[in-house]
A and B are shown apart, each in its own frame.
Chain A
């Protein structure tokens, strides 16, 4: 048989200062094969991929392309070889149109007119609908990703590298993407698929490499290996999938911590959806889940609950019976409402501030941090160090900028900051979004402990698994309307799926009865 290896890596290493991002990595990628690359955040996956694409230069090691040793000094050279990359953070230009974006990835002899035709052709073949004339800033995340993929495909890549492509997609979009990838592989393209979603890797990858702390720890055939085993290799220890039975077994208190009664909120330019007549109740020690696809009003609900958007259009929000709809963020926080926004980078943390600064911000109700208007510097330091220690935040030190932390560790820090203030209610927006299994299960653990101590929790999430295992009751937000809340043990995933699809409540009810 002919050697079908497209790209092979031998002993590839890269260090940043004393930190080894990648250490002697070997890997072979074959034609027509979907190769999974698994690892926790910070395992070195992204660095490895950047070296393949020519974005980052390796310190040591060899890269061979179709059997010949090559040096990929720039992304351009990588592309000329036939390596197409779709990055985790989009490398699109917002102010340019789709076709302008695509043109930039192509050799200079292309003309824009031809490109439009090609975009249409390729997008029809693979079912990746994009309108070449649209400006990129007006596109949804899913559409943007399609543009990136189309841009790669027009270069006829022999190897397509996808860096966590589904972490920004709705389940439906993710399914479509997987179809496209399988099809591409069928046509002979090699695919490197980076993910920490085990289920996906299990479903579609022919082989997989697992990395940990910059090193390859295992090579597996996912279809034969159990997901649990892959997860434990990824985390370097034992891993047990949490089950509902093992977790949610404490009693819910009788105090109503928070209630929303007929809350309406009109359209605001920065949120796509309005809230209509939302009712909700959270008791002490209860985890209430809110499911729904992205963009169905979760952001606005979060802002209304946190006080970033004050109620003006009717309805009541009561915190221990007291109306708080007109009280702002600081006021609510002082009353004991903790808020964990979805966007860690910029919303819940300031990336250019060190951890001490980030700890202080939003911690005004923590005793001892302030004397009058004066910040107690050593107290602030102790506070940040306390968070780091208690919540297992892995970082070089509290003097380092928040941007130096991985997503998971930053989230643990944010979480710790809120929990240290002993809140009576926590609103957690997609707290495990984009996190690896290890970090996610820690975050889940913190939420559970919190609820056990009698805190009420509102968990807004797109991950149905998470909601099904953690919550007591579950509701679905669809186009700004809240469904009824169902005890989690009594509703099936498919039924939640129907509610997510925006089906009529009564109809969903009927389905439930059948």
Chain B
């Protein structure tokens, strides 16, 4: 029993990682007033780019770096369309997902069937050998710790730094931000790129560390879950962390439903993140402005 709990906990944490990365990134993007529905596509590109570079160079770190770059490049495309050509964000985002999934499959053809590299744990053996705690707390690689830390860093950034206030102001009222001399398009481009990089890293984590191999459609809807997560967490990075652990946990349970002997269809589990998000929205809808989306979310901006 203890073994099941420990391994369950560990798998939940590792399964949540990509959700945390992508979710936290998207929080920043959306806080700046941009709705990027291309998370799934950016994750796919991150996954294939990361795996390819890791496979060719033999360095997993380099692979992760490449996944960030791939996510960012794809998000740049989105940013160019929405911020400069002023194309509808929903349409651009959806196209980005379709495009990213297709392109990643194309690039990934040559990498199917290879297995990835090992990835060492961050902490030395004597820490990992501590009974129970060692496995639950110290048996992860540095990327996992980074993902657990990122919500706090981003939260600090958004709520405590001037740049963070600028991002939130841009998402709240772009016109007013412009009149205060904030360069709205620049702020939004940077936020989009951050979101893209984080989504790419989430994808890279999947292919380089988690599985580790490349198959088509390996992101398997995690990008959509991350999007739901942002709403679920009311655009707060730290809540994204808890939400990701919850949704990640559900995903694990879904895999282990039979092992646990529960009579629940796997499909219900797949539905859970979205159902939970809708429920949270219903419950919170009248509470306060902080449960509402950034006011400029999804709206195009251009200066006179």
Contacts and interface: CB of A to CB of B under 8 A. Distances in A.
A, B assembled together: yes
Contacts of A94: 172-173, 289, 295
A76 B173 contact: no
A93 B172 contact: yes
Nearest to B171: A95
A376 interface: no
B108 to A, nearest CB: 41
B294 A95 contact: yes
Interface in B100-145: none
Which residue among A53, A100, A108 has the maximum number of chain B CB atoms within 10 Å of its CB? A100
B181 A92 contact: no
B74 interface: no
B168 interface: yes
Interface residues of B, number: 22
B179 A55 contact: yes
Contacts of A105: 180
A82 interface: no
Nearest to A101: B169
Contacts, number: 63
A17 interface: no
Interface in A51-95: 53, 55-57, 74-77, 79, 85, 87, 90-95
Which residue among B162, B175, B182, B295 has the maximum number of chain A CB atoms within 10 Å of its CB? B162
Contact of B179 (A75, A95, A101): A75
A463 interface: no
Sort chain A's interface into a size bin: 20 to 34
B289 A135 contact: yes
B304 A93 contact: no
A388 B289 CA distance: 39
B180 A75 contact: yes
B180 A103 contact: no
A77 B179 CA distance: 11
A93 B168 contact: yes
A74 to B, nearest CB: 6
A95 B176 contact: no
B290 A95 contact: yes
A108 B294 contact: no
A56 B175 CA distance: 12
Contacts of A101: 169
Nearest to A111: B162
A269 B177 CA distance: 29
A96 B172 contact: yes
A93 B181 contact: no
A283 B178 CA distance: 51
Given A103-B162, A269-B286, A95 B172 contact: yes
A74 B180 CA distance: 9
Q: Which 10 A-B pairs have the closest CB atoms?
A: A76-B181, A91-B176, A93-B172, A75-B181, A95-B172, A93-B169, A137-B289, A91-B179, A100-B165, A75-B179
Interface of A: 53, 55-57, 74-77, 79, 85, 87, 90-96, 100-101, 103-105, 108, 135, 137, 269
6 contacts: A57-B304, A77-B181, A79-B181, A91-B175, A92-B176, A96-B169
